[in-house]
């Protein structure tokens, strides 16, 4: 699992950092994702800081949103999610620039960054998470199965991480969710407290 620094994406609030982006812990290549972050811990971190999160998912199809809403009281810190499985909806709903999708396809670090920035802006959250990748069983536009990009948009910038996961379709999707939660947790810890966040809690 490696961090993939990428240039800023036009039209996106995510500004991926270069160099030493924080490595998410909790997902390793292979069907066993290893230790995972309890979503309740993420909500506790957000609640203590008066912050919120929103997600834009492609390959995970809503699994990350489901994991985040398993915790009672999640509405205080989870703004909502977009399942943008179709490529055109990544542009229409999440605000990914259409020229970017045409040039790079749906699975790229820039698209992950744009998903994160777009959902953060459109849903009024402190943090945005974007997930795109190939769960299998077939490669997509030359991108191998198990390739996943996670984007995090935060108040002080953004980052993108690349995962190369093994296992079947279910294992890849579960590992992507675990890594996204870990990335969010480390991103929160690395961000200065922003007070009430971008939107008051419901």
Residue 196 has pLDDT above 80, yes or no: no
Tell me the residue range of the domain where 47 lies: 2-15+32-190
Strand (E) or helix (H) holding 101: helix 98-104
- Would you list the DSSP string of 137-198? SS-BTTBPTTEEEEEEEETTEEEEEEEE--S-HHHHHHHHHHHHHHHHHHHHHHSPP-TT-S
Indicate the number of domains in the chain.
Answer: 1
Q: Is residue 163 part of a domain?
A: yes
Q: How confident is the model at residue 194 (pLDDT cuts 50, 70, 90)?
A: low
Mean pLDDT of 56-62: 98
Q: Is residue 70 part of a domain?
A: yes
Residue of 5 and 198 predicted with greater confidence: 198
Looking at residue 60, its pLDDT comes to: 98
pLDDT tens, 60-89?
999 999 999 999 999 999 999 999 999 999
For the whole model, what pTM was predicted? 0.81
Q: Is residue 62 part of a domain?
A: yes
Let me know: does 77 contact 47? Beta carbons within 8 Å: yes
Q: Is residue 58 part of a domain?
A: yes
pLDDT tens, 87-127?
999 999 999 999 999 999 999 999 999 999 999 999 999 99
Mean pLDDT of 151-178: 97
Looking at residue 191, its pLDDT comes to: 86
Question: Residue 20 contacts by C-beta under 8 Å, 6 or more apart in sequence?
Answer: 3
Q: Is 116 exposed, middle or buried (0-12, 13-18, 19+ CB in 10 A)?
A: buried
**CATH at residue 131:** 3.90.950.20
Distance separating alpha carbons of residues 128 and 3, to the nearest angstrom: 17
Q: Is residue 39 part of a domain?
A: yes
Distance separating alpha carbons of residues 6 and 39, to the nearest angstrom: 28
Looking at residue 192, its pLDDT comes to: 77
Q: Is residue 196 part of a domain?
A: no
Q: Is residue 201 part of a domain?
A: no
Let me know: does 27 contact 34? Beta carbons within 8 Å: yes
Q: Is residue 101 part of a domain?
A: yes
Mean pLDDT of 47-61: 98
């Amino acid at each position: 699992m490696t961090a993939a620094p990428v240039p800023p994406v036009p039209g996106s609030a995510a500004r991926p950092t270069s160099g030493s982006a924080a490595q998410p812990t909790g997902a390793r290549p292979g069907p066993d994702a290893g230790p995972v972050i309890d979503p309740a811990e993420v909500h506790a971190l957000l609640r203590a800081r008066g912050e919120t999160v929103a997600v834009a998912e492609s390959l995970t199809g809503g699994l990350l949103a489901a994991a985040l809403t398993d915790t009672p009281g999640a509405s205080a810190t989870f703004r909502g999610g977009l399942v943008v499985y179709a490529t055109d909806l990544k542009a229409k709903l999440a605000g990914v620039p259409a020229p970017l999708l045409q040039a790079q396809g749906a699975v790229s670090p820039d698209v992950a960054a744009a998903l994160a920035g777009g959902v953060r802006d459109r849903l009024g959250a402190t943090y945005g998470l974007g997930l795109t990748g190939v769960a299998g069983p077939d490669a997509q536009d030359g991108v191998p199965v198990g390739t996943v990009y996670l984007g995090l948009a935060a108040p002080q910038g953004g980052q993108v991480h690349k995962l190369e996961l093994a296992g079947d379709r279910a294992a890849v999707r579960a590992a992507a969710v675990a890594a996204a939660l870990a990335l969010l947790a480390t991103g929160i810890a690395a961000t200065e407290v922003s007070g009430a966040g971008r939107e008051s809690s419901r």
